[in-house]
């Protein structure tokens, strides 16, 4: 299996020379695109969309048809794994994800088991295969999962939370129970990402959306330590190609040195970190991905292009930079504003 | 005017020797206390409570009656300043603060003026005088204000926001307009804090609640630069005593070195920063305040005491540490849990 025709994304992650700084956007297949909303309407709801390989493939490709993006990311949800564990994922309109059976009792936690991804998450693997076929080796496909701690937040809270009071109370009162959940999640995520790699994902990202809500000490013990185990357990190559791994802890800018030490190939940065400063801190240990404030996409195309160029310049040239937002793109983003960003980053960074 | 009988708080801020690590809690006079809810009920609403010097004094003292706290903080709201500018602060039940007349038009921004605190915020100064009289020199009184950028967020958005889309769009599209608002806010906050000092506040804190939502570059330009001007304009002494100044940027852990350089006496830390690591980074330039996760107060008293001791130990002894939470105390906190924290910190740090 050869690399994609446009492999700048993979080269940047592996710190090999690039033609220009590659760009993709977290949540690039999403509600800001009218064509996405149309497919979602057809699907009936978000979960049907995730669970239909052909519709997941369709929406994965939509942003690539509009913009000169350098990677596709599997369309799915981070909570498919706990759903496959039997917690009963559902989406209440306007309320975000929820679980019918959150983990509250000690026996439920003792009984928790990692699902077989090729059985219980077969629809995800089918989507990966279908997307790879549709991409026809044009750009790489990114697979992903939520981090063990981020999954645990939803599994214990039963949904989103302002303060994660339930899971943090468990952390302080019964760390043994939280560690048990995190152990199972670590096995589950490792198996899930390896199955995605075997199905055709050419890079993987771990989304640690809520690790940054922890104290520095708790982050090391309850989030980073488990991501380190996952990275150690991931297939490093498939079909003769290296499979790079990106770790993104939102709010993790204070902990870059310790994230860089867990063996990942790249760190995702949110927009609060100066990317040039981050590069000086991690040296050539890892590549960096990021990190424009998604809200900057509400500014004028000229102001967006200026901010994109500022970040490219702050990184400072050479390889090792994948341009992205510092968090998922807002559903209210004007779609044509994205063009201004992608073009500005490509133009500023293109080697003459 | 002599120092208070218990001046450990002031001594820690000025890095003079202390008997033990002093403790106060952000939002210590708040809804988690039944006696506070009772006074608020009597006041009719939150704004009446802020605007009544005698009731503001009453609730300021309530947590000191329950716990061995080492400082009182003026009961007020960070949005009294824009209210005094004529924006019309109100609190919609269950929705947080809002302004009747947010800043949207260029002419409104050009017309904005700093209020005279001794006229338009007289009720705050009266509360300071009344609280000082009631404290009778037992512990110091902290005055406070929101930061210019944090005030601007509410003034432009018209209330709280998930993403600060309106104010950030102004930042990228019309930085000149946002700078104009920030200039006026800087004058207003400087005058307001100096009036509090002249009325009897013995230390002041600038709450930069939303500076941490900015990119590193935007934080320097739109938040920190203005806090630096305020610090330079504050009265350094009153009645022969030094008036220390604390700067608290929530989410500012990546920027401690530059915050320490603006001339403040102490930096407030949220709970994501390791306080020992922060001390190594800022050296003996400033004292540090913080930084337990407020959600840890939902754990058992034993677990709370353990977490408090861990933070005291992480700071590592000597003076220069004011213990606090990393953010305001939650309204759902069981009141007796606070006792466990205050006692544990005092006991662990007491010099034998």
Domain boundaries, chain A: 24-275
Give me the phi and psi of A317, to 5 degrees please: 85, 170
**Contacts for B104-109 with beta carbons within 8 Å, 24 or more apart?**
B104/B156, B106/B177, B109/B177, B109/B180, B109/B181
CA A42 to chain CA centroid, Å, is: 25
Edge-first strand listing for the sheet containing B321-325:
B72-73, B141-146, B203-208, B245-249, B266-268, B287-292, B321-325
Option in B172, B253, B299 nearest A307 (CB)? B172
d(C-alpha A159, C-alpha A99), whole Å: 6
A314 CB neighbours in chain B (<8 A) are 217
Q: Give the pLDDT band of residue B95 (cuts 50, 70, 90).
A: confident
Q: Which of A11, A15, A40, A132 is catalytic?
A: A40
* The predicted structure's pLDDT at residue B92: 82
Helices B165-173, B175-199: inter-axial angle, 10-degree rounding: 120
Q: Above pLDDT 90, what percent of chain B?
A: 96
Residue B151, pLDDT above cutoff 80: yes
B216 to A254: CB separation less than 8 angstroms, yes or no = no
Alpha helix positions (H), chain B: 8-13, 34-43, 46-51, 53-66, 80-82, 106-111, 117-120, 122-135, 148-157, 165-173, 175-199, 216-219, 225-233, 256-260, 275-282, 301-315, 335-349
| DSSP-derived pairing of the beta strands A321-325 and A287-292 | parallel
A274 to B216: CB separation less than 8 angstroms, yes or no = yes
A254 to B251: CB separation less than 8 angstroms, yes or no = no
* The predicted structure's pLDDT at residue B334: 98
d(C-alpha A300, C-alpha A304), whole Å: 6
Mutation pick from B156, B216, B341 vs chain A, by most beta carbons of A within 10 Å, is B216
* The predicted structure's pLDDT at residue B234: 98
Average pLDDT, chain A: 97
From residue B27, alpha-carbon distances to B330, B344, B346 in Å are: 8, 20, 20
Q: Residues of B with catalytic annotation?
A: 27, 31, 40, 77, 154
By CB neighbour count within 10 A (0-12 exposed, 13-18 middle, 19+ buried), where does A301 fall? Answer: middle
Q: Give the pLDDT band of residue B307 (cuts 50, 70, 90).
A: very high
CA A189 to chain CA centroid, Å, is: 13
B168 to A295: CB separation less than 8 angstroms, yes or no = yes
Q: Which helix (H) or strand (E) holds A259?
A: helix A256-260
Predicted ipTM beyond 0.90? yes
A169 to B307: CB separation less than 8 angstroms, yes or no = no
Q: Give the pLDDT band of residue B41 (cuts 50, 70, 90).
A: very high
Q: Which of A7, A77, A191, A265 is catalytic?
A: A77
Which of A150, A164, A163 lies closest to A248 in space, CA to CA?
A150
B310 to A217: CB separation less than 8 angstroms, yes or no = yes
Assign a CATH topology to domain B8-349.
TIM Barrel (3.20.20)
Q: Is B11 on the interface with A (CB under 8 A)?
A: no
A140, A9 Cβ separation under 8 angstroms: yes
Q: How far from each other are the two terminal CA atoms of chain A, in whole angstroms?
A: 30
Q: Is B310 on the interface with A (CB under 8 A)?
A: yes
Chain B residue whose CA is closest to A210: B272
Which of B76, B48, B97, B307 lies closest to B210 in space, CA to CA?
B97
A111 is catalytic: no
Option in B218, B272, B274 nearest A212 (CB)? B272
B296 CB neighbours in chain A (<8 A) are 168, 172
Token output for A158: 């039963």
d(C-alpha B179, C-alpha B292), whole Å: 34
pTM: 0.96
d(C-alpha B1, C-alpha A237), whole Å: 73
d(C-alpha A137, C-alpha A18), whole Å: 18
A154 is catalytic: yes
A165 to B295: CB separation less than 8 angstroms, yes or no = yes
Give me the average pLDDT of each 10-residue run along chain A (352 residues). 92 98 98 98 94 98 98 97 97 88 96 97 98 98 98 97 96 98 98 98 98 98 98 97 98 98 98 98 96 98 98 97 98 98 97 58
B351, B20 Cβ separation under 8 angstroms: yes
Residues 213-252 of B with CB under 8 A from A: 213-219, 251
* The predicted structure's pLDDT at residue A141: 98
Which of B185, B186, B200 lies closest to B233 in space, CA to CA?
B186
Q: Is A272 on the interface with B (CB under 8 A)?
A: yes
What CATH number does domain A24-275 carry, 3.20.20.70, 3.20.20.210, 3.30.1960.10, 3.30.830.10? 3.20.20.210
Helix (H, G, I), strand (E, B) or coil at B307: helix
* The predicted structure's pLDDT at residue A94: 77
Task: Number of A to B CB contacts under 8 A, please give it.
Answer: 105
Q: Is B165 on the interface with A (CB under 8 A)?
A: yes
A219 CB neighbours in chain B (<8 A) are 272
A110 is catalytic: no
A281 is catalytic: no
CA A197 to chain CA centroid, Å, is: 15
């Amino acid at each position: 299996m050869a690399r994609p025709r446009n492999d700048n994304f993979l080269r940047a992650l592996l710190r090999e020379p690039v033609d220009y700084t590659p760009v993709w956007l977290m949540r690039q297949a999403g509600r800001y695109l009218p064509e996405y909303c149309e497919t979602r309407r057809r699907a009936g709801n978000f979960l049907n969309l995730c669970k239909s390989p052909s519709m997941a493939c369709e929406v994965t490709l939509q942003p690539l048809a509009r913009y000169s993006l350098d990677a596709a990311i599997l369309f799915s949800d981070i909570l498919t794994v706990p759903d496959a564990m039997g917690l009963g994922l559902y989406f209440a309109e306007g309320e975000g994800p929820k679980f019918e059976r959150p983990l509250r009792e000690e026996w439920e936690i003792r009984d928790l088991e990692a699902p077989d991804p090729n059985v219980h998450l077969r629809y995800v693997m089918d989507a990966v295969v279908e997307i790879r076929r549709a991409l026809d080796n044009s750009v790489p496909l990114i697979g992903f999962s939520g981090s063990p701690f981020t999954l645990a937040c939803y599994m214990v809270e039963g949904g989103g939370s302002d303060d994660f009071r339930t899971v943090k109370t468990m952390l302080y009162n019964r760390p043994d129970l939280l560690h048990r959940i995190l152990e199972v999640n670590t096995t589950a995520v490792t198996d899930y990402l390896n199955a995605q790699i075997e199905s055709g994902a050419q890079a993987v990202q771990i989304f640690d959306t809520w690790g940054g809500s922890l104290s520095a000490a708790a982050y090391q013990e309850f989030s980073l330590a488990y991501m380190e185990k996952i990275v150690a357990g991931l297939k490093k190559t498939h079909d003769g190609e290296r499979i790079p791994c990106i770790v993104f802890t939102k709010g993790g800018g204070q902990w870059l040195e310790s994230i860089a030490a867990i063996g990942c190939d790249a760190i995702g940065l949110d927009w609060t970190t100066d990317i040039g400063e981050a590069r000086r801190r991690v040296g050539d240990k890892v590549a960096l991905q990021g990190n424009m404030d998604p809200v900057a996409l509400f500014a004028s195309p000229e102001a967006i292009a200026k901010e994109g160029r500022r970040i490219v310049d702050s990184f400072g040239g050479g390889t090792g930079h994948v341009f992205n937002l510092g968090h998922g793109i807002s559903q209210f983003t004007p779609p044509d504003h994205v063009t201004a960003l992608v073009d500005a980053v490509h133009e500023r960074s293109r080697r003459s």
